[in-house]
Amino acid sequence: MRVHVTTVVQSCFAALRRIRSMRHVLPRHALLTLVHALIVGKVDYCNSLLAGMSVQLHDRLQSVLNAAARLIFTARRTDHISPLLRDLHWLCVHERVKFKLCVLAYRCLHCTAPPYLADDLFRTSADGNRRHLRSADSPTLVVRFTRRSATVRFPWQLHVLGTVFHQLSGTRHHFCHSGAA
């Protein structure tokens, strides 16, 4: 994970230096398009795998977004960054990771995700072994562990965000793709 973050940070700062050199000839909408394509896209790539990352790695990725926001608004390094990020409608890195996991889980529960993901994520109440437990009434999600499970942090993060999914409607569960919806 550290190697991935280091590579992303280095390539993003290199792209920011190139964009900064032509900032004066670009209109604002073109500058925003470049930053979204070259910087935000790299930061968001595979960020769902960064769930549970260390604060140090989080801060390094956040510094990229902060520098991009300062470049867009031509702000000084001493200016507050929160209003700039709010004006751009950008989330912090850890919030981006949580949001991506929430969207992924939502898509799995509503059968719009690929079958290889949706078949392994389901509500606790849909698990036949847990149906009679008190945890069956809780709004948590279960990830079936298989040999193809990508990471251990993924189910942990979904468990932490389980209360968000309590609001989800519908009774569909992990059998959507097998035809028994």
Q: How far is CA 124 from CA 106, 115, 127, 165, in A?
A: 15, 19, 6, 12
What are the tens digits of pLDDT across the range 45-68?
988 888 888 999 999 999 999 999
**Residues 112-135: tens digit of each pLDDT:** 888 887 777 777 666 667 666 776
Non-local CB neighbours of 52 within 8 Å, separated by 6+ positions: 153, 156, 157
Whether 158 shows a pLDDT value over 70: the answer reads no
With contact defined as beta carbons under 8 Å apart, do 67 and 11 qualify?
Answer: no
Average pLDDT, the chain: 78
pLDDT at 161 over 60: no
Q: Give DSSP secondary structure letters for 14-77.
A: HHHHHHHHTGGGS-HHHHHHHHIIIIIHHHHTTGGGGTT--HHHHHHHHHHHHHHHHHHHT--T
Q: Which pLDDT belongs to residue 57?
A: 93
Determine the Cα–Cα distance for residues 50 and 63; give it in Å rounded to an integer. 16
Q: Which pair of structure tokens corresponds to residue 132? A: 């009679």
Residue 100 above 60 pLDDT?
yes
Bridge partners, 123 (sequence order):
141
With a CB cutoff of 8 Å and minimum separation 6, the contacts of 9 are 60, 61, 63, 64
pLDDT band at 24 (very low <50, low <70, confident <90, very high): very high
Residue 166 has a pLDDT of: 41
Domain regions of the chain by residue span: 2-90, 97-178
CA distance 74 to 86: 15
